[in-house]
Amino acid sequence: WRVLTCMGYLLTSSGGYWILEPFPRLINQYSTGTEFLTLFNYNDSIYLFSYNATTDQGKVIRDDKTELTTLFTFTNNLSIITDVAEFNDVMYIGLKNGEIWSYNKTAFSMIESFDNSISSLYGDSTYLYIGFTNSSTIILYNGLEFFESTVEV
């Protein structure tokens, strides 16, 4: 199984969600079939990203400190969350099916769909950088437009 950590929180791919401070304790144990892919700190909350292979659905879950709330379910095929990044105070989610989704603290929107599987996202003060599996092409997004760049390998 895989272990993912973020600011004193831990996820196991087998569905366990733990807090590690001041001492380790289990917050929630999801049923089998749900695999946690990553967690992300955004807007002073912890977001958990999961995938269920049986239903082929990815989910965004927020830790509301008193309960875990499912905010969104991706229903398209291959909705496996591959990476998450923040850019311009918006959270961006990349999927294996090539979709990029945004979450602006109130709503989810698909902003673009690419032909290749998204492998990485990174945001800085200028761009959201989008990388693809087995590709030297990187897409830069400034919040309004997408630009293509090729990386020398």
pLDDT 10s digits, 31-71:
656 777 888 889 888 898 988 888 888 999 998 877 788 99
The per-residue pLDDT for 81 is 94
Q: Which one, of 85, 143, 108, lies nearest residue 94 by Cα?
A: 85
Sign of CA dihedral 78, 81, 85, 87: positive
Residue 91 has pLDDT above 90, yes or no: yes
The per-residue pLDDT for 50 is 87
Q: Over pLDDT 90: what percentage of the chain?
A: 50
Residue 118 has pLDDT above 90, yes or no: yes
The per-residue pLDDT for 6 is 54
Please give the mean pLDDT across all residues of the chain: 86
Q: Under the phi-then-psi rule, with left for phi > 0, alpha for psi from -120 to 50, and beta for the rest, what region is 103?
A: beta
Residue 10 has pLDDT above 90, yes or no: no
Q: Quick one: average pLDDT of 110-117?
A: 95
Instruction: Give the pLDDT confidence of 125-152 residue by residue, as tens digits.
Output: 999 999 998 888 999 999 999 999 987 7
Predicted TM-score (pTM) of this structure: 0.85
The per-residue pLDDT for 3 is 44
Beta bridge partners of 60: 49, 72
- The model's confidence at residue 153, banded by pLDDT at 50, 70 and 90, is low
